[in-house]
A and B are shown apart, each in its own frame.
Chain A
Amino acid sequence: MTETHEDPCAHCEEMMQPYLDHMLSDEEMREAEMHLDECDWCRRRYRFEESLRRYVRQAANQPMPADLKLKLAALRIPLE
């Protein structure tokens, strides 16, 4: 049975990180999605958090310098 919460938006906020981490139970997931379907305020914030995570991952992605790749390959132990 779905619990009712005094402040459903505050409860939804508590579930936001575990929701995005796919750590909620099926029941909790349904509960969060039901609230998100009807609450534009929370839906916007969830969408933002999701975009933020994606954006941080993209921005943090820095290619390895080509010469480092060569240095690592040179560390291999030569065959006897």
Chain B
Amino acid sequence: MAEMAEASSDATRIAADARDRVRFEEEALALADQVYGVARHLAGSREEAEDLMQEAYARAFRSWRSFQPGTNLRAWLLRILTNLNIDRGRRQQRAPQMQALEANDYFLYDKLAQDDGGVTDEDRVVERLSQDDIVSALSAVPHDFRDVIVLVDIGDFSYQDAAQILDIPIGTVMSRLHRGRRVLKRELAESVAEDVR
């Protein structure tokens, strides 16, 4: 009798475990579009992003028990993905490049507005940049800065989440974001100059 009760409780536990796992997998898959949106720009190319997604999801499915229900699953998945990206050895752990940057934050606006002969609509000014300009400018930003821009400005993560995903202090997130946005604008300004040539 006791053995039967024990077997039945085991079966209940196994069923509950399977249900939790399936729910986890479904929730993780439902977030795949959003995770890919970020992964695409963390990786160097579309192909790398696809490989990285598959590795990250395979690992997530294997270690689903280490996810704490009720916490941010998208951030958890991206933490796995960024760690894999570093582990794959594509990225040298180096100090961010420290070349001189433009002294002010408005140089891109000044350049675009000036080239347009003093337009009045700021939305129109920004439309001088093509989607390709933006994607290639983003990929030209050094990794350390790009990771933060991609997480905060594209993935819409808070500074705090970005700090946890990348395992860096929040102050570093802020300084890399500040600097990275300027690098991005410089790349965009250069792409506009090339389009004009």
List residues of A whose CB falls within 8 A of some B CB: 13, 16-17, 21, 23, 44-45, 47-49, 51-53, 55-57, 59-65, 68-69, 71-73, 75-77, 79-80
Contacts and interface: CB of A to CB of B under 8 A. Distances in A.
B96 interface: no
Contacts of A62: 36-37, 40, 46, 135
B192 interface: no
Contacts of B185: 52
Given A60-B135, A75-B58, A51 B122 contact: yes
Specify the main secondary structure of chain B where it touches its partner. Answer: helix
14 contacts: A16-B105, A17-B181, A44-B109, A44-B122, A48-B109, A48-B126, A56-B134, A56-B184, A61-B37, A61-B154, A71-B54, A75-B58, A75-B61, A77-B25
Contacts of B108: 52
A57 B135 CA distance: 10
Contact of A76 (B61, B129, B153): B61
B33 A72 contact: no
B86 interface: no
Contacts of A69: 29, 32-33
Q: In the complex, which of the residues A44, A55, A56, A68 has the most CB atoms of chain B within 10 Å of its own CB atom?
A: A56
B21 interface: yes
B136 to A, nearest CB: 11
Given A17-B178, A60-B41, A49 B105 contact: yes
Specify the main secondary structure of chain A where it touches its partner. Answer: helix
Contact of A75 (B54, B105, B113, B184): B54
Contacts of A59: 129, 131, 134-135
Contacts, number: 102
B50 interface: yes
Contacts of B126: 48, 51-52, 55
A57 B153 contact: yes
Given A45-B109, A48-B126, A60-B41, A55 B62 contact: no
A47 to B, nearest CB: 4
Given A56-B153, A75-B58, A49 B109 contact: yes
Interface in B32-64: 32-33, 36-37, 40-41, 46, 50, 53-54, 57-58, 61-62
A73 B33 CA distance: 12
Interface string B75-112: 00000000000000000000000000000111011001
